[in-house]
């Protein structure tokens, strides 16, 4: 008997409260309460994220949790000016990156096709495209995992990637892609909800 033999054939839908937490009422936090975020909470975020999909189960996403004043001093000057104050106020910050040598783990995480390691090694362009794509997919799951942990997420793309890489990943193997503030929202954390596209502008049927 395999692990998949125990998976349900009928999946359960989230109720309205769960959908609101994860989607319809959730939004990016722009300020944070002075409430600590524990190592256990941050670990639980990763333990949810790791189950998300990636191409051939390659899991190229890497996370650095920045929690100390010293870590903030290294990170905050590398952010766009508009992102600095809220990052200083956030109890925790995650720097999300992708591993350009992710394929070295293939024999462990895809043991039925270990030859994929050689395939990725032989084609750097394809490997990098796959790594960036899968890490981006995992990054979306990471934001949802923050929400599932009962915390607010503030994902940001406004930062100097080359400078962040030089500061946090100096060996060049990991490449930064997203910075996410994490914490409990303050009373004025939310901007007004902005409009979403109409169905006819975003969805078609074939």
Are 45 and 180 contacting, i.e. CB atoms less than 8 angstroms apart?
A: no
* Tokens representing residue 110 in the block: 């895809």
User: Which architecture, in CATH terms, is 28-182?
Assistant: 3-Layer(aba) Sandwich (3.40)
Kindly report, residue by residue over 42-88, the tens digit of the pLDDT.
Answer: 999 999 999 999 999 999 999 999 999 999 999 999 999 999 999 99
Which of 55-59, 135-139, 192-196 is least confident?
192-196
Condensed to tens digits (0 to 9), the pLDDT of residues 164-186 reads 999 999 999 999 999 999 999 99
Which whole number is the average pLDDT over 5-32?
90
Q: Give the CA-trace dihedral at 75, 102, 171, 43, to 10 degrees.
A: 40
What is the tens place of the pLDDT at every residue in 82-110?
Answer: 999 999 999 999 999 999 999 999 999 99
111 pLDDT exceeds 60?
yes
């Amino acid at each position: 008997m395999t692990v998949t033999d125990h998976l349900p054939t009928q999946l359960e839908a989230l109720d309205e409260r769960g959908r609101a937490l994860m989607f319809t009422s959730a939004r990016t936090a722009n300020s944070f309460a002075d409430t600590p975020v524990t190592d256990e909470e941050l670990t639980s975020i990763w333990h949810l994220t790791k189950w998300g999909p990636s191409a051939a189960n390659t899991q190229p996403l890497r996370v650095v949790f920045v929690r100390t004043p010293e870590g903030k001093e290294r990170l905050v000057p590398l952010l766009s000016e508009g992102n600095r104050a809220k990052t200083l106020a956030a109890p925790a910050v995650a720097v999300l990156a992708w591993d350009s040598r992710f394929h070295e783990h293939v024999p462990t995480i895809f043991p039925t096709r270990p030859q994929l390691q050689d395939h990725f090694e032989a084609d750097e362009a394809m490997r990098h495209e796959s790594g960036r794509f899968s890490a981006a997919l995992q990054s979306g799951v990471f934001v949802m995992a923050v929400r599932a942990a009962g915390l607010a997420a503030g994902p940001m793309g406004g930062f100097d990637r080359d400078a962040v890489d030089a500061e946090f990943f100096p060996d060049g193997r990991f490449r930064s892609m997203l910075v996410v503030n994490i914490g409990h929202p303050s009373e004025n954390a939310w901007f007004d909800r902005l409009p979403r596209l109409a169905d006819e502008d975003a969805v078609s049927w074939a």
